[in-house]
Structure 1
Amino acid sequence: MTLASSNYQFTYTPHYKPNQLICGYGQTAVITGWTVKQSVAKQLNPEDYAVIGNLYSPTRGISPLIRNLLANPHVRFLVILQATKEDKNAGGCQCLLDFLANGFTKGTSDTGRDTWVINSTITGYIDIEITADALETLRQSLDYKEVKSISEVVNYVKEFAKETHKQTWGEPLIFPIVETTPTVLPGPRYGHRIEGKTIAETWVKILHRIKTTGTIRPTGYDGKWQELIDLTAVITNEPPEFYFPDPNYLPIDRSFLQEYIPQILDDAPYTEGVKYTYGQRLRSWFKRDQIEQVINKLIGEIDAASGVMSLWDVNDHDKGGSPCLNHIWVRVVDNELSLTATLRSNDMFAAWPANAMGLRALQQHIRDAIAKRSDYNLQMGPLITISQSAHIYDDTWENVDKLISNQYAKIINNRDYFDPSGNFLIEVEDGQIMVKQTTSGSGEIVACYSGKNPLKLVRDICAASPAIQPDHIGYLGMELQKAYQSLKLGNRYTQDQ
């Protein structure tokens, strides 16, 4: 303790995620859920609170929060704010309240690791390295209040601050953390393309690509992430009602999606402590309804290349809290309406599936509005997301590994062999290898390659069709080598179909 203003005060010392916290000198920890913590802090004096911080996830956020509380036994009060739709959807604050009220049980995480499971209808974990005795002591030593508004937070914090300082409940407790570092294979850092029929399939492919070759670097949030830069994902056939695998391995379900889609489609009034919603940025932030603008633009000029919506405000540089989704482009080509979205920063494990489904709902909304107001009956084209920083945080690496182990092989093996670059027919004629490239649909011959050197032929084909799929290249290499051997030995060559 330190002496200040003739009152004994405490200093909160965070051992985990310190850069994400606002620290003070009191005995009350304020958990703001998804509400911006600075909107609470500006209405309080540092002497009134011990710490103010967000809680986004019950599986990833509660354990470091509890570690910090155990390391700061002078904290005797909690004020837990649940004020937003995001709080309801994520369930972090409710799960914390259930821990305080109902306790915990030894169990296993969804990755099979031993853990403490919070006794709650919401899945929440606490690291098994923390002893049960320490957790029980913490539960019994904290008074807590659940509140629904910032004004309630301020009132309770000030009320607690007036109470006579309580004694610390014990000595600071710090427990070891098990850390793992993934093995990373060589690969390009910039510019990646992944395609899938559904959002669920594409998501698994994305996570596999990041986990395999992504660069590991520190984040601004007291941790690490594994990152690829400029990752383009193309989803070709997401159904109108959305595809959820059975059993569902996505981090969201249909009930979450019903709450999330309005955050993209609908305007929202200003709410203290809430930075913005994507719908607010699209509908009213710039004093224009950009969704309506794009619909009217395309009805008036169906092949326009200027169906653009922007969510970036130049003032975001100064204010902070800038949106991850920055730019949306809608285009009609051959009676198909596609939507391309650019996200400057994208949590590909926890956020991308919801982002993609919300954007697909926006794409469907625009298509339906155009059909209702005009004679254009457009087909739904692909959804494309460009994630400029496509990353997965270190506290999800274990989950990603398990997902890849369970799902990636199934997805890769359950694929068709359609290649937009076309098909290649190989024959041996007049002492040379002849390769005819045809379109994927009509089978029209569009190019011919001939020679005796299979390696040169592969290189010529790849140079002319750089987007050819990797396994198609491998197949061509094997077949061209077989054709070369047949030519060399004077045998008859038949292409493997």
Structure 2
Amino acid sequence: MAADSFIVGDMQANTAICTLWTLAKPIAERLPKEKFAICANLYSMDGINTIVRGIYSNPHWRYLVVFGSDMTHTGDVIKSFFEQGVDAQGKVVGTNFSFQKEIPVHDLDVLRKHVRFFDLRGKPVDELSKTIASLEQLPPFAAAKEFPEPKLEEFPMHDSEKVGFLVRASTISQGWLKVLDHVMKFGEEKPTEHETKMKECIDIVAVIEGDEPSIPPFMPCDANALKDYIPKLTSHEKPENVVYTYGSRLRERIDQVQNAIDYLKEVPYTRRAIAVTWRLDEDQKQNKNPPCLTQIVWSVSHGKLHQTCSFRSHDMYEGWPLNMYGLRELQQMMAREVGLPAGQMVCLSVSAHVYQPRWEEAKEVLKKHYLAGNYRFSPDPRGNFVISIVPGVKEGEKLILLQHFTPDGKKTPFIFHNTKMDEKQLLEELFTQLAHSNLISRIDHAFYLGQELQRAAICIRMNKEYVQDQPLKW
């Protein structure tokens, strides 16, 4: 935890205050210091484990107050923990959050019985001050104890390109599984400023081609979280003592979103429909938590409004899904205002990372929903090929001919055929032609063509009839 994210009061006091995304320091300065032990921010779900560990290290903390702006629904999980408890595996009832296995379920139950929870989210500071001032002093509920640190499995880094990874997906959920797999396979293990490690890929570009009817249950966010998140992207208003929201940065000083809408209506071919969140005077050094989303660009192409988003730093497990669903809503809102259909959404994640506490969860999600998933065919947006065997110039010669077609079935000028007759050489020749054609954008399309060309070459050798996509007739 960064030193500026928590304020120490009287460590013998009974009350711990969690201000979530609302800056802790301005809140603590307005409270009687002798009435709280610690006042701290909480930006992620994993911090709930830190709260429990902190209370057991200081068992005289008998009151936990949650206050401020709950940007990630962490307060909801804490509330559910105190009201509904955990199951036998340490999972908070009614949520997807599980405590670290090193914290016994019995100790979680004891804490719930002896620590009183106050939910003051959205309340004024005066009410917080009155509440903590009214609480009676209580003795410790247990002897101080510490729990073992979680034993985190190491995930080796596989060799890959050093920077620049392209992912295409039909939906946000499928895109998430793909980018998550990239980071877990190819990410370099690095330290962070947050006292934990991460696996990081540099420059993952995700192209999301369409929408899905609802958010799948395996995603780390849901419709309620999205409903709360959208105003933080689209509105200039921000909660008190929250440094910024993306919406405030986009619309506070200058309404960059409305400016982009107006300009796109006037000049639809513009390359200047841009909005930025980064403020050099604030974010380079002064702001301890500067915006991760730095720029959005809108472009009109083929009659649709496309959106490109750039993140300097991107938590691919917890942040990416909600960011993408929210930004897609922003794109659709923009498209309605401009009067065009929403096109594709592109996201550049410069530092695409997964923090170590989420490695095991990421591994399980990929195992259940990606690595074991059924293959889904997606047509190549650059078109396809019709393969046939035709007579050569010399008598008895047979050539493999590939005619390229657009995705909607129109013939193009691109035709490929072999000039060499040796089976190995003719396949190498065709593979080289196709590799340099820039007409194949999907790896599964390349696999398919390799399979079909091999079958065609076998038919020439065996003097058999070749029909594309049909079994060989022996």
SS at match of 1:305: coil
2:167 to 179, 186, 194: 194
In structure 2, the residue matched to 1:12 is none
The letter for the 1-side match of 2:300 is V
Structure 2 vs 1, CA of residues 155 and 297 (structure 1 numbering), >3 Å: closer, same or farther?
same
1:301 to 267, 270, 291: 267
Determine the C-alpha separation between the residues in 2 that align with 1:171 and 1:44: 27
Matches within 5 A, 1:264-413: 264-269=233-238, 271-284=239-252, 287-314=253-280, 315-320=282-287, 321-371=289-339, 378-408=340-370, 413=375
Question: Deviations for 1:272-325, whole angstroms, at most 9, x for unmatched residues?
Answer: 3212111111112xx221111111101111111111111111121132221111
Shift of 1:494: 4.2
Q: Does 1:232 align with 2:205?
A: yes
Quick check: 2:275–2:296 contact (8 Å CA) kept in 1? yes
Which whole-Å CA distance do the structure 2 matches of 1:318 and 1:43 have between them?
26
Q: What CA RMSD, in Å, does the superposition of the two structures yield over aligned residues?
A: 3.2
Cα deviation, 1:172-192, whole Å, max 9, x if unaligned, reads 333352321224432223111
More displaced 10-residue stretch of structure 1: 344-353 or 308-317: 344-353
Compared CA separation, residues 275 and 466, structure 1 to 2 (3 A):
farther
Q: In the alignment, residue 37 of structure 1 is paired with which amino acid?
A: A
Superposition map of 1:6-405 within 5 A: 22=6, 24=8, 26-27=11-12, 28-41=15-28, 49-58=36-45, 60-73=46-59, 75-86=60-71, 90=73, 92-100=74-82, 102=83, 104-107=85-88, 115-118=89-92, 121-132=94-105, 134-139=107-112, 142=115, 145-147=118-120, 148-153=123-128, 169-238=142-211, 242-245=213-216, 248-269=217-238, 271-284=239-252, 287-314=253-280, 315-320=282-287, 321-371=289-339, 378-405=340-367
- Note if contact 1:76-1:141 (Cα within 8 Å) is conserved in structure 2: no
Residues in 2 aligned to 1:292 and 1:419: alpha-carbon distance in whole angstroms: 32
Aligned residue for 1:35, secondary structure, equals coil
The 1:20/1:172 distance shift into structure 2, 3 A limit, reads: farther
Deviations 1:27-52 (A, max 9, x none): 34321122223333555798875433
After superposition, the Cα gap between the structure-2 partners of 1:424 and 1:451, relative to the gap in structure 1 and judged at 3 Å, is farther
Cα deviation, residue 158, structure 1:
7.1
Code of the residue aligned with 2:145 in structure 1: it is P
Q: Alignment length, in residue pairs?
A: 452
Which 5+ residue runs of structure 1 have no aligned equivalent? Answer: 1-16, 108-114, 372-377
Indicate how the Cα distance of structure 1 residues 419 and 174 shifts in structure 2: closer, same or farther if over 3 A, else same: same
> Structure 1's 411 and 339: CA in aligned 2 closer, same or farther, altered over 3 A?
farther
How far apart in 1 are the matches of 2:440 and 2:241? 46
In the alignment, is the contact (CA less than 8 A) between 1:81 and 1:153 conserved in 2?
no
Counterparts of 2:326 and 2:145, CA distance in 1: 44
Q: Which amino acid aligns with 1:261?
A: I
Against the structure 1 CA distance between its residues 40 and 467, is the aligned structure 2 distance closer, same or farther, given a 3 Å change threshold? farther
Q: Which runs of 5+ in 2 are unaligned?
A: none
Partner of 1:374: none
Distance 1:483 1:125 in 2: 54
Identity %: 25
Residues 94-136 of structure 1: CA distance to partner in whole angstroms, max 9, x if unpaired?
A: 4434545x573442xxxxxxx2234x54454333433355445
The CA distance in 2 between the partners of 1:343 and 1:260, in whole Å, is: 17
Aligned-pair CA distance for 1:143: 5.5
Q: Give the Cα–Cα distance (whole angstroms) in 2 for the partners of residues 319 and 228 of structure 1.
A: 27
Alpha-carbon displacement from aligned partner over 1:226-262 (angstroms, at most 9, x marks no partner): 22221111122216xx5333xx222222222222212
> In the alignment, is the contact (CA less than 8 A) between 1:116 and 1:128 conserved in 2?
yes
Report the alpha carbon displacement of residue 388 of structure 1 after superposing the two structures with TM.
1.3
Q: What are the superposed Cα offsets for residues 210-237 of structure 1, whole Å, 9 maximum, x if unpaired?
A: 2232222222212222222211111222
Q: Report Cα offsets for 1:325-384 as digits up to 9, x if no partner.
A: 11111111221111111111122222222211221221121221123xxxxxx2221111
Cα distance between partner residues in 2 of 1:436 and 1:337: 32
Distance 2:182 2:452 in 1: 28
Structure 1 residues 317 and 78 mapped into 2: Cα distance closer, same or farther (>3 Å)? farther
The 3 A distance-change label for structure 1 pair 50 and 393 is: same
Q: Rate the CA distance shift 1:149–1:395 in 2: closer, same or farther, 3 A.
A: farther
Give the residue type in structure 2 aligned to 1:400: A
Q: Does the Cα contact within 8 Å between 1:264 and 1:358 map onto a contact in 2?
A: yes
- TM-score if structure 1 supplies the norm length? 0.80
SS of 2:181's equivalent? helix
| Distance in 2, Cα, partners of 1:325 & 1:122 | 27
* Structure 2: distance between partners of 1:71 and 1:466: 62
Distance in 2 of aligned mates of 1:77 and 1:478: 67
Correspondent of 1:416 among 378, 386, 408: 378
Aligned residue number for residue 5 of structure 1: none
Question: 1:146-188 deviations in whole A, cap 9, x for unaligned?
Answer: 433445555666777xx88966942433335232122443222
Q: C-alpha separation between the residues in 2 aligned to 1:93 and 1:491?
A: 69
Question: Counterparts of 2:163 and 2:327 in 1: how far apart (Å)?
Answer: 24
CA contact (8 A) 2:172 2:324 kept: yes
Asked if structure 1 preserves the Cα contact closer than 8 Å seen for 2:380 and 2:440, the reply is: no
SS at match of 2:221: coil
- Answer yes or no: is the 8 Å Cα contact 2:221–2:322 preserved in 1: yes
